[in-house]
Chain A
């Protein structure tokens, strides 16, 4: 087995990315996705109303991630947490491979820039439906880019089929429509520049992209919620409660080391832009700016920025730095060393995977109130549960259908007003007792730092039945 240094570099790069993407499941929403997947498989229907909370039971609910929830549940049934972690790590690696294919200066410049982009987006990785959106986003960009360069229609044909899947996997399908729209705008601009007539050279591209956009829009209607899903992404983006209270919608905090690579990516773009001799295409500039804006606005958009900006940065750096073009076969001395390095890298991945699997139970205990939920499952206290927002999903997985939750990570379902009420109760604001009585809440499960914990400890009506460093469980006397 002969590898050139370039091939070896690329292989090691993606093995390293796969290794980075292997991590225990700690996402608060994972658990209700898993339960929803189970519900869909067992009932063979896609829920259109909320089945999980007692506060919003029966309220219309757009399960826009239903297909990925089936996938999550199916993988879990097949191979447990391990298989889920492996497959989602593969999705992440595939996403960055597509980004790599779009990048100039392969393998070295593109590789290092890709690594920076991957590090910048790594804090958001995990077993989450968004990961699928990143893969589709990268696929759309690659195909549209290829089309822009070659003008071959074959690159556009897969887009409607991908859209058909995307719209049933995640509500961020709207990004795909926006990307086609962006390239169409670019083509219209070029057509106008070329004479704006029937015989102008770019008319064919305008027609093709316009047709694909129309077909993609039609494809978005093929979902269980029909037209309703078309407005859904914009409702989510305009929710004040989500933007102000949910951490992944916050701006990145550059005091935290995990966001430093994002800072370096932004600085590299500025530096390369100032010093570089290469002018980017208007589409690349718009992509970088729009997703840079979104990334600084909300950390959940950082991967989209990385996917959009890595090729732009690689293009600019390729114009500044000499590309080390080493296409020669590997030296004889490396004939055995190179494959050995690949084997070692794969071995490291296997060790990492084993560690991650072993850490899963510890991670679950670290992030979720496992022991307190064990207590509930064992003692079956009566009444409704008031729970911390971030634990609702875990309770749905562990306790549904015996118990329904007060709130969980489906902020879109609950709405701004309800989330505001929840926050007032959780902070122990005056009137919290009446609210709990009204909802027949007789069990409260909170983090020890919650202000309501202090109120409950000093209330004659409540008693602590379980407590550890992670959680406090109260039951009404």
Chain B
């Protein structure tokens, strides 16, 4: 097919998808400090720096003294390297830029997928922004943002493959190879495959066709190749063991807040609830025929989202493109929308875009590199001083402590970032070392009977705790401990020798 000639202006004017990219990219830069409301980025920065500096991927625990030297599968080493590349160039701002790029690309893909499925451009843009707002609950400078991107890539390709379109099969193992080396949520890819395979069998069965068909063979082959690709990682089969053990722990899923069911009293939960309600409403009113795979995708991801709020972003990325059919139907109902769509379509046919996202990204990076603060508060990117013991760690740096430390687990990643290798921590937010160890941390933190024995077991000499924790209250009145430092966020206690 002959490519239509595009005028020079066509390269300089942005398309809707470019505007979405720019909007999300710039929005993430404005709220960048919010990406550090979790301590884990700290651990990932230090891990990434070790890989960068030593050109080796550590496979044993380095940061936590109670489990020092134990096998620690580097489940996110590639993501850490990419984040640290940004960090080395721009400090915490580099992490924000990487996160902003990942999110912008992900939602550009979601927009394109909506368009590909026939949704009008304007509604595609609105639905994409809605999907982005649903995922904002979990916008953190952590490796899981790669899962957003890979899920968007995978679902669009599998949808096409399931429809019998020609998709190069090598793309699937490549996606899974990268995914398995960046984040543990790669395991959800196989749920999506299972759904498409069951959907294919269901359709064949319902139409009384042969179950064995070329599409099914491609789906199975791509799944097998991709499964094999997930074993190509520094931990090999142990990565699967790690992920499955982690997912099957009910204790952990009850302990970690992001694994909890969504709280629909919060604004983030409310957005998810409205989406579920709107889904059912759209399904009830639409004349569109639904494939079994679409039904299963929506059902499975709704269940996962209701089970754990951390699955809501993947729910949005997987299910929002399913709305394309209903959005298309609106063109018949609202003629002005159809006219507008035709106008935008005819305009965009003359545009090539790409320039604006590239220029905006490069300009923002250059501004950050030159010291311009792009966050809304104009304070620069930093860990929050109310949620993290920033001042307490400053004090520790100027008043070095000896002996083992006890710390609050959500702060572990931040403490690794600030204090390692001078200090090793008791625990961080990774939770890969068994329930007993985590239960011991909880027992000490809440001063449950027997906490003193655990202090002795790990030879703990000092503790960095939240100011309002039960243990802080207990240690205030315990004659064997004295208070070294105190602020609104944290307290430091030391055992009397």
Within 8 A of A (CB), among B470-497: 470, 473-474, 477
Nearest neighbor of B265 in chain A, beta-carbon distance:
A243
Q: Are A274 and B307 in contact (CB under 8 A)?
A: no
Please encode chain A, from 318 to 343, with 1 for each CB lying within 8 Å of some chain B CB and 0 for all others.
Answer: 00000000000000000000000000
Q: Which residues of B contact A269 (CB under 8 A)?
A: 280
- CB A384 to nearest CB in B, in angstroms, measures 25
Interface stretch of the complex, out of A111-119, A190-198, A206-214, A288-296: A288-296
In angstroms, Cα B248 to Cα A255, docked, is 12
Known contacts A254-B307, A263-B306, A293-B273: A273-B265 contact under CB 8 Å: no
Q: Are B262 and A251 in contact (CB under 8 A)?
A: yes
Nearest neighbor of A290 in chain B, beta-carbon distance:
B277
Please encode chain B, from 259 to 280, with 1 for each CB lying within 8 Å of some chain A CB and 0 for all others.
Answer: 1111111000100010011011
Known contacts A254-B306, A263-B303, A270-B299: A293-B261 contact under CB 8 Å: no
Interface status of B302 (Cβ within 8 A of chain A): yes
Nearest neighbor of B270 in chain A, beta-carbon distance:
A297
Known contacts A296-B276, A458-B477: A273-B263 contact under CB 8 Å: no
Q: Are A273 and B261 in contact (CB under 8 A)?
A: no
Q: Which residues of A contact B474 (CB under 8 A)?
A: 454
Please encode chain A, from 222 to 254, with 1 for each CB lying within 8 Å of some chain B CB and 0 for all others.
Answer: 000000000000000000000110000011111
Which of B265, B298, B477 interacts with A274 by CB under 8 Å?
B298
Known contacts A255-B253, A289-B280, A293-B277: A271-B265 contact under CB 8 Å: no
Nearest neighbor of B288 in chain A, beta-carbon distance:
A274
In angstroms, Cα B290 to Cα A261, docked, is 25
- CB A317 to nearest CB in B, in angstroms, measures 14
In angstroms, Cα B303 to Cα A431, docked, is 45
Interface status of A78 (Cβ within 8 A of chain B): no
Q: Are B263 and A270 in contact (CB under 8 A)?
A: no
In angstroms, Cα B302 to Cα A27, docked, is 32
Q: Which residues of B contact A288 (CB under 8 A)?
A: 280
Nearest neighbor of A292 in chain B, beta-carbon distance:
B277
Interface status of B254 (Cβ within 8 A of chain A): yes
Q: Are A250 and B253 in contact (CB under 8 A)?
A: no
Known contacts A250-B263, A251-B263: A279-B299 contact under CB 8 Å: no
Please encode chain A, from 256 to 280, with 1 for each CB lying within 8 Å of some chain B CB and 0 for all others.
Answer: 0000000100110111011100011
Q: Which residues of B contact A458 (CB under 8 A)?
A: 477
- CB B444 to nearest CB in A, in angstroms, measures 15
Interface status of B379 (Cβ within 8 A of chain A): no
Interface status of B295 (Cβ within 8 A of chain A): yes
Q: Are B298 and A270 in contact (CB under 8 A)?
A: yes
In angstroms, Cα B262 to Cα A274, docked, is 24
Q: Are A251 and B470 in contact (CB under 8 A)?
A: no
Q: Are A251 and B261 in contact (CB under 8 A)?
A: yes
Known contacts A275-B292, A279-B284: A297-B265 contact under CB 8 Å: yes
Q: Which residues of A contact B436 (CB under 8 A)?
A: none
In angstroms, Cα B307 to Cα A266, docked, is 13
In angstroms, Cα B254 to Cα A122, docked, is 22
Which of A243, A274, A455 interacts with B290 by CB under 8 Å?
A274
Interface status of A285 (Cβ within 8 A of chain B): yes
Q: Are A251 and B473 in contact (CB under 8 A)?
A: no
Interface status of A354 (Cβ within 8 A of chain B): no
Q: Which residues of B contact A244 (CB under 8 A)?
A: 265
Q: Are A252 and B261 in contact (CB under 8 A)?
A: yes
Q: Are A255 and B307 in contact (CB under 8 A)?
A: yes
Q: Which residues of B contact A358 (CB under 8 A)?
A: none
A-B CB contacts (within 8 Å), total count = 83
In angstroms, Cα B301 to Cα A270, docked, is 11
Within 8 A of A (CB), among B184-224: none
Interface status of A451 (Cβ within 8 A of chain B): yes
Most central of B285, B295, B470, B477 by chain A CB within 10 Å: B295
Q: Which residues of A contact B279 (CB under 8 A)?
A: 270
Interface status of B250 (Cβ within 8 A of chain A): yes
Interface status of B281 (Cβ within 8 A of chain A): yes
- CB A31 to nearest CB in B, in angstroms, measures 28
- CB B475 to nearest CB in A, in angstroms, measures 12
Known contacts A271-B295, A285-B281: A253-B477 contact under CB 8 Å: no
Q: Which residues of B contact A267 (CB under 8 A)?
A: 299, 302-303
Which of A271, A285, A289 interacts with B299 by CB under 8 Å?
A271
Interface status of A74 (Cβ within 8 A of chain B): no
Total chain B interface residues with beta-carbon distance under 8 A: 35
Q: Which residues of A contact B277 (CB under 8 A)?
A: 289, 292-293
In angstroms, Cα B290 to Cα A215, docked, is 45
Interface status of B18 (Cβ within 8 A of chain A): no
Total chain A interface residues with beta-carbon distance under 8 A: 31
Which of A251, A275, A289 interacts with B264 by CB under 8 Å?
A251
Nearest neighbor of B279 in chain A, beta-carbon distance:
A270
- CB B471 to nearest CB in A, in angstroms, measures 11
Interface status of A428 (Cβ within 8 A of chain B): yes
Please encode chain B, from 292 to 328, with 1 for each CB lying within 8 Å of some chain A CB and 0 for all others.
Answer: 1011001100110011000000000000000000000
In angstroms, Cα B260 to Cα A250, docked, is 13
Q: Which residues of A contact B285 (CB under 8 A)?
A: 285
Q: Are A255 and B261 in contact (CB under 8 A)?
A: yes
In angstroms, Cα B320 to Cα A110, docked, is 32
Q: Are B254 and A255 in contact (CB under 8 A)?
A: yes
Most central of B261, B281, B295 by chain A CB within 10 Å: B261
Known contacts A255-B260, A270-B299: A296-B273 contact under CB 8 Å: yes
In angstroms, Cα B416 to Cα A298, docked, is 40
Interface status of B283 (Cβ within 8 A of chain A): yes
Nearest neighbor of B259 in chain A, beta-carbon distance:
A255
Which of B253, B269, B280, B473 interacts with A270 by CB under 8 Å?
B280
- CB B171 to nearest CB in A, in angstroms, measures 28
Q: Which residues of A contact B281 (CB under 8 A)?
A: 285, 289
Q: Which residues of B contact A289 (CB under 8 A)?
A: 277, 280-281
Q: Which residues of A contact B307 (CB under 8 A)?
A: 254-255, 263
Q: Are B290 and A296 in contact (CB under 8 A)?
A: no
Nearest neighbor of A275 in chain B, beta-carbon distance:
B295
Q: Are A280 and B284 in contact (CB under 8 A)?
A: yes
- CB A259 to nearest CB in B, in angstroms, measures 8
Nearest neighbor of B306 in chain A, beta-carbon distance:
A254
Most central of B253, B298, B474 by chain A CB within 10 Å: B298
In angstroms, Cα B263 to Cα A250, docked, is 7
In angstroms, Cα B285 to Cα A289, docked, is 13
Q: Are B264 and A296 in contact (CB under 8 A)?
A: yes
In angstroms, Cα B477 to Cα A428, docked, is 14
- CB A63 to nearest CB in B, in angstroms, measures 28
Nearest neighbor of A312 in chain B, beta-carbon distance:
B284
- CB B272 to nearest CB in A, in angstroms, measures 9
Q: Are A275 and B290 in contact (CB under 8 A)?
A: yes
In angstroms, Cα B446 to Cα A451, docked, is 10
Nearest neighbor of A458 in chain B, beta-carbon distance:
B477
Please encode chain A, from 422 to 434, with 1 for each CB lying within 8 Å of some chain B CB and 0 for all others.
Answer: 0000001000000
Nearest neighbor of B478 in chain A, beta-carbon distance:
A458
In angstroms, Cα B262 to Cα A317, docked, is 29
In angstroms, Cα B477 to Cα A250, docked, is 35
In angstroms, Cα B261 to Cα A251, docked, is 8
In angstroms, Cα B470 to Cα A156, docked, is 59
Nearest neighbor of A270 in chain B, beta-carbon distance:
B299
Known contacts A297-B273, A451-B470: A273-B250 contact under CB 8 Å: no
In angstroms, Cα B281 to Cα A296, docked, is 16
In angstroms, Cα B299 to Cα A451, docked, is 42
Q: Are B473 and A451 in contact (CB under 8 A)?
A: yes
In angstroms, Cα B474 to Cα A250, docked, is 31
In angstroms, Cα B261 to Cα A275, docked, is 27
Q: Are A266 and B302 in contact (CB under 8 A)?
A: yes
- CB B450 to nearest CB in A, in angstroms, measures 15
The 8 sampled A-B contact pairs (Cβ below 8 Å) are A251-B261, A254-B306, A254-B307, A266-B276, A270-B279, A275-B295, A293-B277, A458-B477
A250-B265, A255-B261, A293-B273 given; 5 more Cβ-contact pairs under 8 Å: A255-B253, A255-B260, A267-B302, A275-B295, A455-B473
A→B interface (CB under 8 Å): 243-244, 250-255, 263, 266-267, 269-271, 273-275, 279-280, 285, 288-289, 292-293, 296-297, 428, 451, 454-455, 458
